[in-house]
Structure 1
Amino acid sequence: MITAYRSNCTSLELSAVTAASDLPSDVIWIDMVEPTREEEDHIEKLLGIDVPTRDDLKDIEPSSRFYVEKDAVYMTASLVWKVATDIPTLTDVGLILVGNRLVTIRYANPTSFALFVAALHRIPADMRSGAALLAKLLETIIDRTAEVLEQAVVRIDILSTHVFGERAKKVRRPSNFLEEKLRDVAGYHRLISKVRDSLMSLSRLLTFLHTVPAVQQDHDTKDLCRNVSRDIQSLSEHASFISGNITFLLDASLGLINIEQNSIIKIFSIASVVFLPPTLVASVYGMNFQFMPELHSPFGYPLSLLVMVISAVVPFFFFRWKGWL
């Protein structure tokens, strides 16, 4: 699907436009969502550019992600997608500056694009150009990334409270409670990793965008790009901090699991030591020797039971005195 946006913020479908002369001159943004081969050919004929394919967008070489060809500036950014699911991923978005127009090619629907379209009418009229729209779009993407990080911090804080707070209150928890929390920690780690990869991609894009003449010649757009670059740097540092907290939470959860397992093993070890002396006494008097004076004593049986109880109680209270129980 191809949607074009004019400088007055109205949209139109480009399927009815058959020639370059039919394309309105005030079209400043052409958004291509999962374009077909026919739609790509249509845009190439309208604008006289080569539209990168889906495979071209996945190329990780810098020379393939940022370049200038036929007076058109080609850029590729990796954006976080599906942040509300268990499998957040990165989607590659193509950004092309051709003349005074911005062309975007995407095969996903990141929330930042919907937010940008909704706020398109708030952009000042003097900043409704291709380069200015690209800077505003990047600003919206960074704002959305900051929101994702803020939500992740809140959820990670709640998770940390569940792991440590309930343990401090000695609340009885299911046996697999910590194992389930480890899965949540792994999910947050994946999300923050994808956010950091996206921020790195955007940082490289902004570095390249600063060299584009259309940006250098527009003072407001240049300042906006500079501010976005600073925001990316701040968010990258914040994402690194969150990643460190997640690593700590992961190590702490694994440590708590080891402590619980060691506690179980300690109970069995102490139980075996407590019952070892009574077992020894029972084994002695279970031997079938003919001459065993205690067997003929009327007090032999109760005395043997008393010795077995004492031999079990003494180690038990000794362990309690040492604080091992």
Structure 2
Amino acid sequence: MIHLYRIGGEKSSLPASGAPAPLDDDVIWIDMLDPTDADMHTVETLLGVMLPTRESLKDIEPSSRFYTQGDAVYMTASVVMNVDFGLAHLTDVGCILAAGRLVTIRHAEPKPFFLFSADMKRLPLQPGQGAKVLVYLLDAVVDRTAEIIELAVSKIDNISIAVFGEGARGRRRPPAELEERLIEISTYHRLISKTRDSLTTLARLATYVQSLQAVRDDKPTKDLCRIVAHDIQSLAEHVGFVSSNISFLLDSSLGLINLEQNNIMKLFSVVSVVFAPPMLIAGIYGMNFDIMPELHWNFGYPAALVGMFLTMFLAIYWLRSRGWF
């Protein structure tokens, strides 16, 4: 699917069949969503450049993600998606600057693209400013990344309060409850990890874009790109701090699970110690030997019961004096 965006944010679709008509000068952004071979051929014919395949977008080497071929500039960035509906993951987006236009190739629908397309009508754009569109798009991606980090921080704070807050102090919690917290923590650990990977590629993209002649010659675009690069650096530092907090929360939750399990084993140990003396007395008088004078006492049975309870209380007193419970 090929979407054409004109100056002012007007959107139209370009059919893949038939001979394509030349693009109007006000078409400044060509967005290709899950393009077919026919879509790729159509855009290649219109712009006179080769477009990267889906497999080439997955390359992780910087030399394969950022390069210039002829008059076209090729860049690839990884964007976090699926944050609100499941496990977060990265999708690779190809960005090509050719003939004064921006071409994006993507095989998923990250939210920043939807938000940016809706805001294009308010952007001060002129024909041939594809690089400026790319910087604005990068700014939208960074803004969405900041929102994702804020969401993760808020959720992590809620988990921390549930684990260590006032309501959790002095309350015995089953390990299953803490295991649920561990699952939540692992989910946001994955989100922060993917966000950090995304910011790494975005930082490289911002640095590469600043080196482009079209950006250096346009002072507003250059200044905006510098601001975006600074924002990416700040977010990367903040993500590192959040990641360390998640690691601490994860280790603490595991420690609490171990404490709860130790308390359970401690309880079994206490019960065993408390009931060991009565069981000893009961075992002695359950042997049924012929010569056992106590078997013929009138008060032998009550004396055995008293001995059992007395040894139980003595064991409890001894354990409390040791601070076991």
TM-score range, shorter chain: over 0.9
* 1:221-266: CA deviation from partner (whole Å, max 9, x where unpaired): 1111111111011000111111111111111111111111111100
Determine the C-alpha separation between the residues in 2 that align with 1:144 and 1:201. 15
Aligned 1:7-26 pairs, distance under 5 A? 7-15=7-15, 22-26=22-26
Alignment check: 8 A CA contact 2:101 2:128 kept: no
1:180 aligns with 2:180: yes
| Deviation digits for residues 36-61 of structure 1 (CA, Å, limit 9, x no counterpart) | 10010000000001011111111112
2:134 equivalent in structure 1? 134
TM-score by length of 1: 0.95
Give the whole-Å Cα distance in 1 for the aligned partners of 2:314 and 2:208. 77
Q: Does 144-153 or 20-29 show the bigger shift?
A: 20-29
Report if the CA contact (8 A) 1:20-1:47 is conserved: no
User: Within 1, Cα distance between the matches of 2:120 and 2:30?
Assistant: 13
CA 1:286–1:153 in 2, change beyond 3 Å: closer, same or farther? same
Q: Distance in 2 between matches of 1:16 and 1:287?
A: 95
Aligned 8 A contact 2:52 2:94 in 1: yes
Distance 2:102 2:287 in 1: 96
Identity, % of aligned positions: 53
Distance, in Å, in 2 between the alignment partners of 1:256 and 1:229 is 41
Distance in 2 separating the partners of 1:131 and 1:145 = 21
Residues 16 and 249 of structure 1: CA distance in aligned 2, closer, same or farther (over 3 Å): closer
Aligned 8 A contact 1:95 1:102 in 2: yes
Conserved? CA contact 2:17–2:38, under 8 Å: no
Letter in 1 for 2:131: A
Is 2:271 the counterpart of 1:271? yes
Paired position in structure 1 for 2:83: 83
CA distance in 2, matches of 1:125, 1:193: 35
For residue 145 of structure 1, what is the amino acid of its counterpart? T
Give the whole-Å Cα distance in 2 for the aligned partners of 1:145 and 1:319.
56
**CA distance 1:43–1:127, change in 2 (3 Å):** closer
Count how many residue pairs are aligned between Structure 1 and Structure 2. Answer: 324
How big is the shift at 1:277?
0.8
Q: In the alignment, which residue of structure 1 is the partner of 2:298? A: 298
SS at match of 1:96: strand
CA distance in 2, matches of 1:41, 1:276: 84
Distance of 2:8 and 2:160 partners within structure 1: 48
Task: Kindly report which structure 2 residues correspond to 1:1-325, keeping only aligned pairs within 5 A, or say none.
Answer: 1-15=1-15, 22-125=22-125, 129-165=129-165, 166-168=167-169, 170=171, 176-325=176-325
Matched AA of 1:144: R
The answer to whether the 8 A contact 2:116-2:140 is kept is yes
Q: CA deviation at 1:280?
A: 1.2
Contact 2:125–2:132 (CA under 8 A) maintained in structure 1: no
> How large is the Cα RMSD of the aligned pairs?
1.8
Residue-by-residue CA offset, 1:184-212 (whole Å, 9 max, x unaligned): 11100000000000000111111221221
Contact 1:96 1:102 (C-alpha < 8 Å) held by counterparts: yes
Q: Measured at CA, do residues 16 and 281 of structure 1 come closer, stay the same or move farther in structure 2, by a change above 3 Å?
A: closer
Does the 8 A contact of 1:2 with 1:32 survive in 2?
yes
Worse-superposed segment, 118-127 or 264-273: 118-127
Structure 1 runs of 4+ with >6 Å offset: none
- 1:83 is paired with a residue whose SS is coil
What's the TM-score once normalised by structure 2's chain length? 0.95
Q: What is the rounded CA distance, in whole Å, between the counterparts of 1:248 and 1:122 in structure 2? A: 44
Q: Give per-residue Cα distances to partners, 1:96-127, cap 9 Å, x unaligned.
A: 01131111001111110011011111112459
Q: 3-state SS of the aligned residue for 2:109?
A: coil
> Does the 8 A contact of 1:83 with 1:191 survive in 2?
yes
> Would the aligned equivalents of 1:86 and 1:187 in 2 still touch at CA under 8 Å?
no
Deviation per residue, 1:14-73 (Å, 9 max, x gap): 228966762111211111111110010000000001011111111112111111012100
Structure-2 separation of matches of 1:243 and 1:220: 34
TM-superposed deviation, 1:287: 2.4
Q: 5+ residue gaps in structure 2?
A: none
Cα separation, 2, equivalents of 1:63 and 1:180: 43
Residues 259, 286 of structure 1: alpha-carbon distance in 2 compared, 3 angstrom cutoff: same
Alpha-carbon distance in structure 2 between the residues aligned to 1:323 and 1:259: 16
How far is 1:279 from its partner? 1.2
* CA spacing shift, 1:275–1:127, aligned 2, 3 Å: farther
Q: 1:132 to 1:18 in 2, by over 3 A?
A: farther
Q: Distance in 1 between matches of 2:4 and 2:71?
A: 21
List gaps (5 residues or longer) in structure 1: none
| Contact map agreement 2:7 2:27 (CA 8 A) in 1 | yes
C-alpha separation in 1, matches of 2:251 and 2:16: 59
In structure 1, what is the Cα distance between the partners aligned to 2:55 and 2:125?
Answer: 36
- Is the alpha carbon distance of 1:16 and 1:55 closer, same or farther for their aligned partners in structure 2, counting shifts above 3 Å? closer
